[in-house]
Structure 1
């Protein structure tokens, strides 16, 4: 079947619709009190959202309709659904909780609108494809549910108090519309030597998700938050070094190390120069010592100065343990 066949072009859009259904089902699970299934449904929506775009590019089935459908699905699955799940879980009937839920949904829609606008911007630097502007929609939807995940796994605590949850929700909303750069996994290229360790890591991750799904999800969200300072530092470094924009990561590391050595005032040792200078310093005779010719005569320092260039050089026969012809 050809790549541009109708069935192939329909597949990415079908995955997007499935992600939309998973996000809406999370609200239904929350209404029934099935909080674990609600979190799992939004997690499934995040996995499907990461697949539809890659499959569309792989099959050469990208379209304007698919892009618009993907944005609408993200707005519902990661904006509306998490806000409603949190509202049903903790603050049903609370005005402050509803305001926080509205703020989160609106910020998610604004974040997606800016993302679509940046796709048509041709004046961005080459390294901009390695970063997202702000926290992406799937990560933001899952980060908002972090207090719920911790509560389901470890029970109630300070993390499940209403003020803490709503402050957390507003903080994640601010990250969605912020200009803070975050790393994009779309441009990550694993070297050939790292394929086997990565496959082992994937197996361990799958085992952790099967045995401890909520703990694995909470750990992943904490690690994602911890990577933001690194992403910000890397973005600033690339902005200051245009020579590293279009080079592979290995050469970027070499440039970074070279500039670090130059900033610290370090340089490579000149072994040949040091050895030559030391050899000349050893061979240079001292003025207060008498000069001994190869004939065995001793010349005082004044006589050596008068002789000048006629003073015979001291040879290394005795240093090597050899006798010169005529020595007794």
Structure 2
């Protein structure tokens, strides 16, 4: 019996609609790569806009794949690679080129921390994406997701584009901030997942009104809108971190109450 050659072409026909999610992912990847190109041309606003566009695309390709029942391992790996370029490499280089000209050596170290942390975050996500959640646990991310990390890293740019503070003169603080965002991506802190958001039916009208406001700001004050959105997300991260610390303290307190003799022995040096 003849063995099938691994180099033989697969001539089976594939429905075109199954390629749509991957085509959307490639579109987002092209946006991220082009953002890097415009960064080196010092067209920072256009580069930031392309990364935001890539984030929107990233939210669509998975949804389209599920709706068309076109999910695949290839598509998942392609999406992960695109995320690394668009939300790790591109925003890191953009932040470095925009604000770290005076601290090139130190700035690049923190940019490397951000990019590597984004890579580690995506690798961890790939390992755990098919793992089911325990009963009673709401869907959430572990650490800051890569697209959100990119938006956080670009907060200094949004502030500067809004005309509030010239962050280009704050090279070292921006570098430290970008490195801290990278560490938040690889942290174990639970963060908000859109899948966990629920809206009461009697509140949907306010969501529609809010969308009209957002549309107006996109057309008039887009950088101010992005700055406000990132600050709101930062507030949710602070709230989540505080809640996590309180839970850990309560668990330690309960454990100490269950074993009252342990603490006394430790205090006596036994």
Structure 1 counterpart of 2:188: 179
1:29 to partner: Cα distance: 1.3
1:151 to partner: Cα distance: 1.5
Cα distance between partner residues in 1 of 2:235 and 2:62: 26
Contact 2:189-2:244 at 8 Å conserved across structures: no
Cα distance between partner residues in 2 of 1:180 and 1:49: 22
Change (3 A) 1:158 1:196: closer
Cα distance between partner residues in 2 of 1:129 and 1:12: 27
Change (3 A) 1:7 1:237: farther
Change (3 A) 1:237 1:166: closer
Structure 2 counterpart of 1:26: 35
1:183 to partner: Cα distance: 0.8
| The one of 89, 106, 113 aligned to 1:103 | 113
Unaligned runs of 5+ in 2: 1-12, 249-270
Cα distance between partner residues in 1 of 2:92 and 2:51: 12
Cα distance between partner residues in 1 of 2:240 and 2:68: 31
Contact 1:148-1:160 at 8 Å conserved across structures: no
- 1:120 paired with 2:127, answer no
1:90 to partner: Cα distance: 2.7
Contact 1:147-1:160 at 8 Å conserved across structures: no
| The one of 200, 203, 206 aligned to 1:194 | 203
Cα distance between partner residues in 2 of 1:43 and 1:164: 23
1:73 to partner: Cα distance: 0.3
Q: Indicate the RMSD between aligned Cα atoms, in angstroms.
A: 2.4
Structure 2 counterpart of 1:81: 90
Deviations, residues 218-268 of structure 1 (Å, cap 9, x unaligned): 0000000101244457779999xxxxxxxxxxxxxxxxxxxxxxxxxxxxx
Structure 1 counterpart of 2:72: 63
Deviations, residues 126-163 of structure 1 (Å, cap 9, x unaligned): 35552100011101011101111212222654674111
User: Which structure shows the bigger proportion of residues in helix conformation?
Assistant: 2
Structure 1 counterpart of 2:173: 164
Q: Which has the larger radius of gyration?
A: 1
Cα distance between partner residues in 1 of 2:31 and 2:167: 30
Contact 1:91-1:162 at 8 Å conserved across structures: yes
Unaligned runs of 5+ in 1: 240-328
Change (3 A) 1:158 1:46: closer
| The one of 36, 58, 61 aligned to 2:45 | 36
Contact 1:144-1:172 at 8 Å conserved across structures: yes
Contact 2:142-2:191 at 8 Å conserved across structures: yes
Change (3 A) 1:90 1:125: same
Change (3 A) 1:62 1:71: same
- 1:206 paired with 2:215, answer yes
| The one of 219, 233, 250 aligned to 1:224 | 233
Cα distance between partner residues in 2 of 1:88 and 1:49: 24
1:121 to partner: Cα distance: 2.9
Change (3 A) 1:153 1:19: same
Contact 1:45-1:77 at 8 Å conserved across structures: yes
What secondary structure sits across from 1:73 in the alignment?
helix
TM, length-normalised to structure 2: 0.80
Match runs of 1:203-282 below 5 Å: 203-232=212-241
